[in-house]
Amino acid sequence: MPPSTFFFVTFLLCLTTPEAKVFGRCELARALRYNYGFPLDQLPTWVCIANYESLYDTSAFNRVSGDHGIFQISQLCWCSDDKHPGKNCNAVCSKFRDDDIADDVACVKKIFAENERLSGDGFDGWMTYQSCRDNVGEFTTGCF
């Protein structure tokens, strides 16, 4: 390969964004339970929230609200929109839009804990929670 082609290909690879992932509902439920230790009784609500926030798409980005990732984490309080980690989750917002949800989960747990402290219900941190308050068992039916 000529050196100019090598540098061009390398340049293009640097421009690409990290891979995103669209989870299946059961795949997300199992990941949250087995990889991240979410309580079993909370899983239907978390999966419901991810459904309404992003349709399980880790690359979701709301340009109007500045919300990022599968759980639509807000850049107003929780992450920095530049290249340096910041705000309450000490994170860069764009990192919430790749296929690795470990950082999303760490931030979501902080958001949940803060809302639990403030309102008594950690899920209040998500507007879509209103749609996920009741009868959400179908979001994890057949998953376990």
**Active site amino acids:** 53, 67
Q: CA 73 to CA 71: how far, in whole Å?
A: 6
User: Are 60 and 97 in contact, with CB atoms under 8 Å apart?
Assistant: yes
Structure tokens given for 60: 């979701």
Q: Which residues pair with 22 in a beta bridge?
A: 57
For residue 9, give the H/E element and its range: helix 3-15
